[in-house]
C-alpha cells in the first residue's frame, strides 16, 4: 500500500523523498487510528496527537495536488 501511495504522490509532482515521507505518514495514520481510518482534524485521544499535528499539512498538500490536476484537466478540454 505504501508503494502505491508513494507512486501517486510522485505522479503528482513530488520528489521521491517527499513522496516517501507523505506515503509513510498516510500509512502511519491509517494504521494508528481506530478502524484504519483517517477521521479528520479533530481527534481527542492523546496517543494520536503526533499524527494529527501533521494532518493540516497533509490535507493542504492533497488539496494543492487536486487543484493542480483539476486545472490541468480543464485546460485539456
**pLDDT (0 to 100) of residue 43:** 54
The HSE-up count of residue 57 (CA atoms within 13 Å, CB side) is 10
CA–CA separation, 42 vs 4, rounded Å?
27
Look up the pTM and report it: 0.63
CA–CA separation, 77 vs 53, rounded Å?
39
Ordered by start, the domain boundaries in the chain are: 2-76
Structure confidence by residue, pLDDT tens digits, 18-66: 999 999 988 887 776 654 444 555 556 677 677 777 888 888 899 999 8
What crossing angle do the helices spanning 16-32 and 2-11 adopt, rounded to 10°?
A: 140
Q: How far is CA 57 from CA 62, 72, 75, in A?
A: 9, 23, 27
Q: Are 2 and 29 in contact (CB under 8 A)?
A: no
**pLDDT (0 to 100) of residue 14:** 93
Amino acid at each position: 500500500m505504501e508503494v502505491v501511495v508513494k507512486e501517486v504522490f510522485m505522479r503528482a509532482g513530488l520528489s521521491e523523498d517527499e513522496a516517501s515521507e507523505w506515503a509513510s505518514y498516510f500509512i502511519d495514520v491509517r494504521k494508528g487510528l481506530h478502524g484504519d481510518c483517517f477521521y479528520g482534524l479533530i481527534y481527542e485521544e492523546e496517543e494520536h496527537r503526533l499524527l494529527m499535528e501533521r494532518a493540516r499539512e497533509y490535507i493542504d498538500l492533497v488539496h494543492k495536488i487536486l487543484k493542480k490536476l483539476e486545472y490541468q484537466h480543464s485546460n485539456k478540454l
